[in-house]
Structure 1
Amino acid sequence: MKNEYAVLVDNLTKTFSGSEVIKGCNMTIPKGSIYGLLGANGSGKTTIFKLLMGLLTPTLGSAEIFGLDSVLCRSEILKRTGSIIEVPVFYDHLSARENLEIHLSYMGTSGDIESTLELVGLKASNNQPVSKFSLGMRQRLGIARALIHEPELLILDEPINGLDPMGIREMRELFLYLKNERGKTILISSHILNEMEHIADQVAVLVDGKIVEEVALAKVKEQFPTGLEEYFFNIMTGGAKYA
């Protein structure tokens, strides 16, 4: 039933200057799950995320977030969704706290800034200007901004980019906590397949703008016992998909 899903995508297609970039994609993301979108650079992952958020208009097909059309209900979707899409942009002369205050004001809502910064590991740094932040710290702040208004759905484009191994592990634990304890739905893309293997309930593989497979991670592990990397490269090199 539709109300069981956070995201439903049907024949989603996007054309730029006569070139089809996203090609008839279908996705079903159950509420309260972690869904991994896998694909090489340039495969169209970021474009799909922008279509889901209503930042781009589909050429054909549709995308629904909690039953809301991504084009017709963009404002409501933005209230119920937190996202990192491409490289997070901040007011670099301001602190993490001040950046989150501006975001909450823009959203017209409130949030617990101190707790959110602590959740992503930035509490000790929240008085520094963002200009002094490392890439990993900026990623943490991007996740904090996605979380601060307590969204039901997180759409995260390469959220662990720039993090060291300890930071990657902390984010893994955070995503699982958000799913298991707070009931969040998380749509995430990452080049680090080993991490997706630790957290995803379901994965989809995007090749040249088309989702060629959508499958439960447990089923992938049955057929590819060495892990998600073997499965992914099998598809990318033209091998058989999960049967």
Structure 2
Amino acid sequence: MDALNVQAPRRRWVVALAALAGVLITLALGFWQLGRAHQKLALQAAIEQRRGLPPVAAAELGRPGAAEALRWRSVTLRGRWDASHTVYLDNRQFEGRPGFYVVTPLLLEGSGIAVAVQRGWVPRNFLDRRALPQVATPAGPVELAGRIAPPPARLYQLGGEVPGPIRQNLDLAAWRAETGQPLLTDLSVQQEGPPGDGLARDWPAPALGVERHYGYLAQWWALSALIAFLYVWFQFIAPRRRNRRA
């Protein structure tokens, strides 16, 4: 009997400490998700601010740190297409339809560097999945407006990348070695302008995932509230209800 009397308070303390730890951990995880959401909102504000700045000179793309410092700034490029190395990135969606993102190296005029240009989206041929769409690529000098962006987004794929014009993903460092061109590997340019060459250029906004962080925040704080409720219920409310019935 004495042993039971000694163990009962200890058990209550263990349960109380476990509940307190659970509440504090889930609260902290919720605050961490809130901080991540605020960081993403600040990044979104920075992107919008950069979008409103004047265009940068194409020569600035090759300087160290340009990929981060100039990301989402507008730029005007002059050069020649390396059409023989055009790549069609598969399984890219536009208005709910599957197709390709067309990426071609552009040899910049007077700079000695090349840039991967995401030229736009084109639908695929559903009768022949290996058929390449017809995309007009001028042979002479071209001038285009675009926006500095990260390398093309990667999609999940099984196994390694298979060389060829149709690919799931594009690694710019490997592509540089493959093409033999002085290609920048830490940035690309998303071409903007009307779809005069048959390519749609309504690029999606960067997916920052702010809503996901708020969702995780709600889950962690709901779990914290549940732990606190269960502790109060089983340690205080339920025993009193049993005593009243006795």
Q: Computing the radius of gyration over CA atoms, which structure comes out larger, 1 or 2?
A: 2
- Taking structure 2 as the reference length, the TM-score comes to 0.22
Instruction: Determine which structure has the larger strand proportion and give its number.
Output: 1
- Taking structure 1 as the reference length, the TM-score comes to 0.22
